[in-house]
C-alpha cells in the first residue's frame, strides 16, 4: 500500500495540474474535477467521463444533489456517502445520485477550501471504500486541493467557464417536449399549430431545449428527458409562456 508520505513528496514536485492528477490517481481517485466560482461564473477543470456535466447540469440536478448541497452547507471534507446519508433522502436527490452512478462514480471524496471570499471544491470519485481512503490519505487529498487551487486559480480564463444562472425548462419548453412525446407522428408544423405558436418559434424552442440539456439535437434532449423521468406521460395543459427559474451553485 502506498504511503501518504510518499504521495506528499510527489505532490511537492508537481508543476501543473496533470501532475496533481497523477498523484490523486495513485491515491485511489478514478475521476476528478476542481471548481471555483465568482458571482457570475463557474470555472471548472475536469477529468470526468464525457457527457457527465451535460446531463448533471443540463437537468439542473445540482439543485438537489446531496454532494453539492453538502458543499453549500459549508462541509469542509466529506464522502459522497456521508452527504447522501444526511442530505439525500428526497426523490430528486435520488435522481441526481443516479447520474453519478450511471457514469461509474459510485462514491468519492470532496474537499472544500480557499481563501477570503473565494472558495474552491475538489471532487474525486474513488476506487474502493471512500471513508477508508479518506482516513488513510486525508492530508494528501487536502494538500492536492490546495495545490490545484494554487495552480488553477492563477489562470481562470484557461478553464471551462459556465454562467451560474441556468434555467430549468420553462413550462412552454416542457410543453414542446411533451408534444413530441405525446404526438411523435405530427410534423413540426402540426405540433406548432397544436401549441398555437409559429414553426419558427417552435424550432427555436427545440434548439434552446437541446442547449439546456447539453446535447446537439432536440431528439437527443427527448432521450435525456425520458431517461431520467423528468418529463413523460400525458399532460392536460400546455401553457404558452412563463419565466424561467435561475440556478446558483
Domain count, the chain: 2
- 232 part of a folded domain: no
182 and 142 belong to one structural domain: no
Quick check: helix, strand or coil at residue 247? coil
Q: What is the CATH number of the domain that holds 217?
A: 1.10.10
Report the pLDDT value the prediction gives residue 58, as an integer from 0 to 100: 74
129 and 15 belong to one structural domain: yes
**10, 23 contact by CB (below 8 A):** yes
Report the pLDDT value the prediction gives residue 243, as an integer from 0 to 100: 31
Residues 67-119: tens digit of each pLDDT? 999 998 999 999 999 999 999 999 989 999 999 999 999 999 999 987 767 78
pLDDT, average across residues 108-132: 91
58 and 95 belong to one structural domain: yes
130 and 190 belong to one structural domain: no
- 55 part of a folded domain: yes
Q: Please give the residue that has the higher pLDDT: either 221 or 148.
A: 148
Domain of residue 128 covers 4-163
Burial 33-56 (b: 16+ CB within 10 A, else e): bbbbbeeebbbbbebbeeebbebb
116 and 155 belong to one structural domain: yes
Average pLDDT, the chain: 85
Residue 204 has pLDDT above 50, yes or no: yes
31 and 152 belong to one structural domain: yes
Report the pLDDT value the prediction gives residue 217, as an integer from 0 to 100: 82
**Confidence category of residue 247, pLDDT binned at 50, 70, 90:** very low
- 248 part of a folded domain: no
Residue 233 has pLDDT above 60, yes or no: no
Final residue belonging to a domain, choices 163, 190, 213: 163
Categorise residue 232: left if φ over 0, alpha if ψ from -120 to 50, beta otherwise. left
148 and 184 belong to one structural domain: no
219 and 123 belong to one structural domain: no
**124, 75 contact by CB (below 8 A):** no
CA-CA distance, 179 to 189, in Å (whole number)?
12
88 and 19 belong to one structural domain: yes
**Confidence category of residue 227, pLDDT binned at 50, 70, 90:** low
73 and 159 belong to one structural domain: yes
- 182 part of a folded domain: yes
In DSSP notation, 134-162 reads: HHHHHHHHHHHHHHHHHHHGGGGGGSEEE
The pTM for the full model equals: 0.69
pLDDT, average across residues 215-234: 64
- 236 part of a folded domain: no
Q: What is the CATH number of the domain that holds 37?
A: 3.30.450.80
Report the pLDDT value the prediction gives residue 214, as an integer from 0 to 100: 65
23 and 114 belong to one structural domain: yes
Final residue belonging to a domain, choices 163, 181, 197: 163
CA-CA distance, 249 to 188, in Å (whole number)?
36
Most confident of 3-17, 38-52, 152-166: 3-17
Amino acid at each position: 500500500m502506498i504511503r501518504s508520505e510518499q504521495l506528499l513528496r510527489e505532490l511537492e514536485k508537481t508543476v501543473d495540474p496533470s501532475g496533481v492528477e497523477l498523484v490523486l490517481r495513485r491515491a485511489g481517485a478514478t475521476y476528478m474535477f476542481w471548481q471555483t466560482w465568482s458571482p457570475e461564473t463557474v470555472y471548472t477543470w475536469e477529468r470526468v467521463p464525457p457527457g457527465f456535466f451535460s446531463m448533471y447540469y443540463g437537468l439542473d440536478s445540482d439543485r438537489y444533489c446531496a454532494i453539492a448541497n453538502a458543499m453549500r452547507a459549508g462541509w469542509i471534507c466529506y464522502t459522497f456517502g456521508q452527504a447522501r446519508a444526511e442530505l439525500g433522502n428526497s426523490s430528486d436527490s435520488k435522481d441526481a445520485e443516479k447520474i453519478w452512478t450511471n457514469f461509474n462514480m459510485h462514491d468519492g471524496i470532496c474537499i472544500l477550501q480557499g481563501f477570503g471570499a473565494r472558495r474552491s471544491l475538489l471532487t474525486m470519485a474513488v476506487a474502493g471504500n471512500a471513508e477508508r481512503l479518506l482516513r488513510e490519505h486525508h492530508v494528501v487529498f487536502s494538500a492536492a486541493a490546495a495545490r490545484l487551487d494554487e495552480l488553477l486559480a492563477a489562470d481562470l480564463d484557461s478553464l471551462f467557464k459556465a454562467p451560474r444562472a441556468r434555467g430549468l425548462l420553462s413550462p412552454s419548453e416542457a410543453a414542446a417536449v411533451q408534444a413530441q412525446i405525446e404526438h411523435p407522428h405530427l410534423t413540426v408544423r402540426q405540433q406548432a399549430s397544436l401549441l398555437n405558436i409559429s414553426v419558427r418559434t417552435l424550432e427555436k424552442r427545440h434548439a434552446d431545449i437541446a442547449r439546456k440539456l447539453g446535447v446537439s439535437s432536440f431528439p437527443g434532449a427527448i432521450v435525456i428527458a425520458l431517461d431520467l423521468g423528468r418529463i413523460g406521460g400525458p399532460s392536460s395543459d400546455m401553457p404558452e409562456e412563463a419565466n424561467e427559474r435561475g440556478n446558483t451553485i
